[in-house]
Amino acid sequence: MFDFEALTDAIARQTVLCVGDLMLDEFVYGEVSRISPEAPAPVIAVQRSETNIGGAGNVARNVASLGARCIFVGLIGEDDAGRQLKAALARQSGIESVLVCDAARPTTRKVRFVSEHFSTHMLRADWELAQPASADIEQKLIDAILPQLARADIVLLSDYAKGVLTARVIRNVIDAARKLAKPVIVDPKSANFAIYRGATLLTPNRKEFAEATRSRADSQDSIADAARDAMQLADCEAMLVTQSEHGMTLVPRKGEPIHVPAHPVKVRDVSGAGDTVAATLAVVIAAGAGWETALRMANAAAAVAVSKKGTASVTAAELRRRILPHAFLAAEDKIVAEGGDLDAQLQDWRKHGLRVGFTNGCFDILHPGHVKVLTAARAACDRLIVGLNSDASVKRLKGEGRPVQDERARAEVLAALEAVDLVVIFEEDTPIGLISAIKPSVLVKGGDYTPEQVVGREIVEAHGGEVLLVEVLPGFSTTSLVDRARASKA
């Protein structure tokens, strides 16, 4: 459970030191309609091209676009691609680059030829020297990195195995960061996780994880078992395994594994999605959030990234829209009846592996206290259902003269909030029947309740769900508002 706005504000105060393999990403888009007469190869009629900062540089771009500051240390060659990257980084707001130049190697450059119509990668051409930096360049990198540590809140190592993150560079950075109590996140490339020993979090994809752990990594349980052994070897606090359309699994050294399903999106391009995940984890953890919050934010950011073309960066506004979707439905479309409409929606959400939350109340006069509970409830789940007491129910609970607004008006006001996905009006005095039908993963109430007082707690917990209590804002109560309004008229 987290407050998105407060977290965004905290992210803006963080500085990430990012170190890794910088590269120039080029995308050539065109149409393929014929085969070359010279060879059995497709001919692409080029329509446009794009050039982006790629590799670890894309991680830095994502850190900055999410609102944090980034100090970036990387390696370039004495060539046109290196000069392009240096100029492009200098133009990027929020990034301070420290680039080491190696005249003996080319700047890593990748050119992708993409069919515009089908959004399909036809061919990729690479210019690179994928071998460890020489001893003198290695020392220059260490000398460039270590003085920056004191200014950073967190360190992010983005390893593309192009030569920057040698075993010696990695060891120097992690050891120095630990002495300064700076968390270290590593997006690893080496199958030997031991070289990252002492990092806080490793973020391999499923293929990298399976190769490093020599496990099948084909289920949440097998990933969790292999991760625990790997964490002992790497002496890290947690391991996150990204699994493309199957979501992400985070295994902390202490506590239970956490899995989140991938957001259902149309995938346009997966280039750089791992960069977005690493950057999001870094800024969120630096801001003081816990593992689950960081995981959910990174998962949402990945969904935004893969829905874009090319090497994409994600903004805080885009992330907010994914975490708290726009109220794209008209208010009346969010108000459903118990039974058929609700059951169909629940079935669709669960088919996509979405976490359903529930809260309830009379919501007679919507005030900031209500908004805080609803926003916190939505942050703890993927879809939020609000149970709303009917007019007859409110009258029985609150007495004559209540509700002030009828149930339709109250439902429409709730449905207009972007934190609310569905509103269901119920006739009983308590929502116990509704909770039994929904079986939410999380049940949220205000902190003026104790867990034992929350109606439906036993049902939710029996199905593996949890009850969350949100601290209430003092001074806000519908009853007191109504009493003051009536007193002013007397």
Cβ-contact 358, 444 below 8 angstroms: yes
Separation in Å, CA 71 to CA 14, 62, 226 = 11, 12, 34
Cβ-contact 328, 9 below 8 angstroms: no
SS3 15: strand
Distance, in Å, from the CA atom of 13 to the CA atom of 434, rounded to the nearest integer, reads 42
Among all residues, which ones are annotated catalytic? 275
* Interstrand relation of 383-389 and 422-426 (parallel, antiparallel or unpaired): parallel
Burial readout 7-46 (b: 16 or more C-beta within 10 A, e: otherwise): bbebbeebbbbbbbbbbbbbbbbbebeeeeeeeeeeebee
Cβ neighbours of residue 220 under 8 Å, at least 6 residues apart? Answer: 249, 257, 259
Distance, in Å, from the CA atom of 155 to the CA atom of 175, rounded to the nearest integer, reads 12
CA–centroid distance for 373 within its chain:
22
Helix (H) or strand (E) holding 409: helix 407-415
DSSP code per residue over 44-105: EEEEEEEEEEEEHHHHHHHHHHTT-EEEEEEEE-SSHHHHHHHHHHHHSTTEEEEEEE-TTS
Helix (H) or strand (E) holding 465: none
Separation in Å, CA 28 to CA 56, 75, 297, 459 = 21, 25, 31, 55
Distance, in Å, from the CA atom of 51 to the CA atom of 29, rounded to the nearest integer, reads 11
Distance, in Å, from the CA atom of 366 to the CA atom of 481, rounded to the nearest integer, reads 10
